[in-house]
Structure 1
Amino acid sequence: MFLPLYGALLILTIVTKLVLSFGAPDFFSDNVASNPVAEVILGICFTLYFIFIIALSVMTLVIIIQRFYKNLFTDEGYLMFSLPVKTWELVLSKLLIGLMWSIICTLIYAVTFFIFSLGTFTMLDFFQTINSAYTDFYNTFGMNLNTVIFETTLLVFVSTIASILMIYASIAIGQMFSQHRIIASFGAYIVITIVLQIIGSIVMGILAIGNLEDFASEGPEMMQILSLFINVSTLTNVILCGVFYYITQYIMKNHLNLE
């Protein structure tokens, strides 16, 4: 289901890049009306591109939800739970697959961005810009840019896992109801979200109050407090991953109620 859509997105990206390359001199000049065909085609291509991006993101989320619910909490669950594997392994397998497709979708987006960037700079310019960015960042904030990139990437990765497990936990809670399970799962997700937002706001508010001077400052002090927020968020998401994972497998193991 996904592979044809990924292929279509890549083809659309290449076509858009070709149109942009051939139509760019006239399209971006002062005399835009001299190339109305390129303008129309480019507008259509970019519109389709953003539609594809949104559609793939939504579809990835929907498939992650659908496969987990259908495989484990409908008639297919009788087969899944007859397999010689433990409950936590079933949850883990679904998590790994959902995470895999999320990563693949992100990589496809990165490839399309790379295609759009082709021809706008040389490799020498690219590496010179990177080196300059590292130097300027260190001189300004007194911290290695690799450290910030690693911490941010780790936060995104752990947050993605926590988001998927939060969905799984909500579905597991919803299936405990005898009727309207989908609505109950959605309601559980909303309640969990609200609770986490309240707790997160309180914790972040406490941290912010204790570091108001660092926020007002610039340079290393500000970067240190930003790094602290990133690391605290990462640790919080790791804890949430454990909580959501435990809730999901506990309900599936002790309160399973298949349709």
Structure 2
Amino acid sequence: MLGKMIKHEFKATSRLYLPLFVITLVLTPILALLLRVASDVGKNSIIGSIITGVSIFGIIIMLIALSVASVLFVVIRFYKTIATSEAYLTFCLPVKPGNILLSKLLVGVVWEVSAVIVTFLSLIILFTIQGSSVVSDIMNAFDKVTPLITAEYGSVILFWIHICVVMLISTVAGTLAFFLAICLGQLFNEHRVITSIVMYVAVYTVGQIVSLISMLPLMLIGNSKLKIGEASFGEASFVNYDLDGIPAFWVFFMVMVLEIVLAAAYYVVSTIIIKKKINVR
């Protein structure tokens, strides 16, 4: 049944995401060509300046819209199928609340990751058509820092794998934070949308506090530059928190563990609320 739910979610959400991705990939080369034309015309000319300004503005708005919409679509879809009249259809299915949440999470994360990939493709297309040296500059920069990464982390491949894993887990945790906020908002009888927004701020703040507290021991233990003592005037003590000196592996590992713990907490609490507390309207 979980597979059928995931298939249904993809079918329902693809009508939003696929046009968004296609529009982005179609507009990118057009705007890149406009920038190329503007550079040929000359930036000092009025026409060249107008074309450049419009193109840059269009690119910025397009990428921001892609980033925001990719998350917003997931949140709106969850709210509509959990907290509105559509929820009756959702809860009529012979599926456990945990599987309902899991299907929406998996589909949402796939679309969010796809949006990131489309963004990178758009930037590559943009810089390639425009004839910019940004891509080559980035590659040269990577070549320069590769020895540092190898010395610090042991393997460049392992480093990037760890980066991708941390980003994926962070995306999962971030999506579940939105889901939890919406579930918490449904515990109130009035102004549920506004309450859900307030709940998200609260969930995000608590997550940041937990992360900070959890990272403090690592910073205290691993940093040779850490200083704890009395200030020169003898009235206040100070602590210089810095991650320098801590092996990068342990920093990423700690972040990954924290995100997994937070994601699990968000998932469990959301499932309990969906199962026992949500009052559908």
Name the SS of the counterpart of 2:247 in structure 1: helix
Task: Tell whether 2:79 aligns with 1:66.
Answer: no
Residue of structure 1 in register with 2:47 after alignment: 37
Give the alignment's TM-score, normalised by structure 1.
Answer: 0.83
SS at match of 2:92: coil
Superposed CA RMSD in Å reads: 2.9
Tell me, in whole angstroms, the C-alpha distance in 2 between the residues paired with 1:106 and 1:89.
Answer: 26
How many pairs were matched up?
Answer: 248
Q: How far, CA to CA, are the matches of 1:79 and 1:142 in structure 2?
A: 50
Residue type at the aligned position of 1:247: V
Question: One-letter code of the match for 1:93?
Answer: S
| Equivalence for 2:21 | 6
Q: Secondary structure at the match of 1:213?
A: coil
Render the CA deviation track for 1:105-138: whole Å, top value 9, x for unaligned: 11110111111232557x9x79x85994475335
CA contact (8 A) 1:16 1:45 kept: yes
Q: Which runs of structure 2 are paired with 1:1-259 in the superposition (5 Å)?
A: 1-24=16-39, 27=42, 32-33=43-44, 35-118=45-128, 119-120=131-132, 129=140, 132-133=143-144, 136-137=147-148, 141=152, 143-213=154-224, 222=244, 225-259=247-281
More helix by share: 1
Deviations 1:130-176 (A, max 9, x none): 99447533565462211221111111110000010111111111111
Gaps of 5+ in 2: 1-15, 228-242
Specify whether residues 40 and 131 from structure 1 end up closer, same or farther in structure 2 by C-alpha distance, changes over 3 A only. closer
Identity, in percent, stands at 26
Q: Give the drift of 1:222.
A: 4.9
Give the TM-score normalised by the residue count of structure 2.
Answer: 0.77
Q: Distance in 1 between matches of 2:205 and 2:142?
A: 43
- What's the CA shift string for 1:1-49, capped at 9, x where partnerless? 333333332232212222333443664xxxx42x442332122111011
> 1:210 aligns to what SS in structure 2?
helix
Quote how far apart the aligned CAs of 1:207 are: 1.8
Give the 3-state SS of the residue equivalent to 1:81 in structure 2.
Answer: helix
| SS at structure 2 position matched to 1:177 | coil
- Give the whole-Å Cα distance in 2 for the aligned partners of 1:65 and 1:236: 23
- Structure 1 residues 87-96 or 182-191, which shifts more? 182-191
**Could you list the runs of 5+ residues in structure 1 that have no partner in the other structure?**
none
